[in-house]
Amino acid sequence: MYILLSGQVKLTITEEIHTKTLAYLNAGDFFGESAVLRDEPRSVTAEAVIDAEILLLTRTLFDELVERDPTIMHN
C-alpha cells in the first residue's frame, strides 16, 4: 500500500490493448490497498506525473499499526 505525501500520481489500467485512466491522486491519497487488505495482485499501474514522495506501507507494518490502533480500519 502506498500513501502519497507530495506530488501527483496517475492510476491506469490496461484492458486488452486499451489503457484507461482511473484517477489522478494528490498528497494525502493512497493506493494499492487491495494488495494489503485482501492479498490480491495489483491490477492498476501508478505513474508519477508530478515528482512524488510516496510512503510504502507493507502488510507487516499495516498489521502492526492496526494492532496498535484498530480504529484505523474505520477511517
Predicted confidence (pLDDT) per residue in 50-71, tens digit: 999 999 988 888 889 888 988 8
Range 1-13 average pLDDT? 95
Rounded Cα distance between 16 and 62, Å, is 33
Rounded Cα distance between 38 and 24, Å, is 23
The pLDDT tens digits for 17-41 are: 899 999 999 999 999 887 777 777 7
Q: In this structure, what C-alpha cell is assigned to residue 56? A: 510504502
Rounded Cα distance between 33 and 37, Å, is 6
Task: For residue 74, give the amino acid letter.
Answer: H
Contact 40, 32 (CB under 8 A): no
Range 6-25 average pLDDT? 94
- Confidence label for 75 from pLDDT (cuts 50, 70 and 90): low
